């Protein structure tokens, strides 16, 4: 099987870097042992020369916005448009927004403010790779930007009142606003690092408390693995527990 490209578009805050893994390491853990990966530092100008050399590509989260005037963002958008149909694409948080932006949607900072803590999304449509099936998923989030208008050819697969376009799917791409690769401990540490400066105290309290509840990271991980064809589909009539 060909390797998975991990397009690293951001890093954990410096204050948390010693205590927690970087984002590529978390996605390697999510994909599981035995899955070959190649990391590309997108901010340093590195992108896969040939998308077809990879089983798929994952675009990570970032503190940047797709609308920021940064030299690495236009090449990433061009790469995503050129890679469609040549490899399978997965976008997480910034990656979700980047794919929506590249494919014709609209992304900007939401007037709803910070989305932090454990958010629950209703599953609004089921794709073939979405097994085990779930009516909703609760996953850690950390974002201010949102997809406000999805691309015309995208299917909305997850939504909430706070994030109406939380999950999108195309025939050869899928993306989610949430962070299945975030351990609750890291998501809580991220909130605490911004408490009282960027995030109001009351919202921080609510977010940290929510992260103590059960989450569905394993479900979304199974979906990503199935989409990337790392997991065989279940035999019809058999359950698919996780």
pLDDT in tens, 124-160: 999 999 999 999 999 999 999 999 999 999 999 999 9
- Asked about 181 being catalytic, the answer comes back as yes
How big, in percent rounded to 5, are the helix, strand and coil portions of the chain?
A: 30, 25, 45
Percent of the chain with pLDDT over 70: 95
- Residue tagged active-site, from 14, 96, 181, 236: 181
- State CA 34 to chain mean position distance: 21
Residue 92, SS3 per DSSP: strand
- The neighbour count for residue 54, using CB atoms within 10 Å, is 23
Looking at residue 231, what is its pLDDT?
Answer: 75
How many whole angstroms from its chain centre is CA 81? Answer: 18
Q: Please tell me which residue in 8, 93, 96, 178 is annotated as part of the active site.
A: 93
pLDDT per residue as tens, the chain (242 positions) = 899 999 999 999 989 988 999 999 999 999 998 999 999 999 999 999 999 999 999 999 999 999 999 999 999 999 999 999 999 999 999 999 999 999 999 999 999 999 999 999 999 999 999 999 999 999 999 999 999 999 999 999 999 999 999 999 999 999 999 999 999 999 999 999 999 999 999 999 999 999 999 999 999 999 999 999 987 655 544 333 33
Instruction: Respond yes or no: is residue 93 known to be catalytic.
Output: yes
Residues 7-28 have pLDDT tens digits of 999 999 989 988 999 999 999 9
Alpha helices in the chain (DSSP H): 23-31, 73-83, 94-102, 184-194, 201-210, 217-227
Q: Given the residues 33, 52, 179, 206, select the one marked as catalytic.
A: 179
Whether 179 is catalytic is: yes
């Amino acid at each position: 099987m060909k390797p998975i490209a991990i397009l690293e578009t951001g890093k954990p805050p410096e204050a948390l870097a010693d205590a927690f893994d970087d984002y590529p390491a978390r996605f390697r853990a999510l994909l599981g042992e035995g899955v070959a990966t190649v990391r590309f530092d997108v901010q340093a100008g590195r992108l896969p020369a040939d998308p077809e050399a990879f089983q798929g590509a994952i675009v990570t989260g970032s503190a940047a916005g797709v609308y920021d005037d940064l030299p690495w963002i236009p090449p990433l958008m061009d790469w995503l448009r050129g890679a469609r149909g040549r490899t399978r694409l997965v976008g997480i948080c910034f990656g979700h927004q980047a794919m929506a932006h590249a494919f014709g949607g609209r992304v900007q900072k939401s007037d709803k403010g910070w989305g932090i803590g454990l958010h629950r999304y209703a599953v609004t449509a089921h794709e073939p790779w979405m097994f085990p099936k779930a009516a909703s998923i609760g996953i850690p989030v950390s974002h201010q930007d949102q997809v406000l208008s999805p691309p015309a050819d995208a299917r909305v697969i997850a939504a909430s009142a706070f994030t109406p376009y939380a999950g999108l799917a195309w025939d050869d791409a899928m993306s989610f606003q949430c962070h299945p690769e975030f351990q609750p401990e890291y998501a809580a540490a991220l909130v605490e690092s911004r408490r009282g400066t960027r995030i109001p105290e009351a919202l921080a309290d609510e977010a940290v408390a929510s992260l103590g509840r059960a989450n569905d990271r394993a479900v979304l991980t199974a979906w990503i693995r199935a989409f990337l064809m790392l997991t065989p589909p279940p035999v019809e009539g058999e359950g698919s527990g996780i």
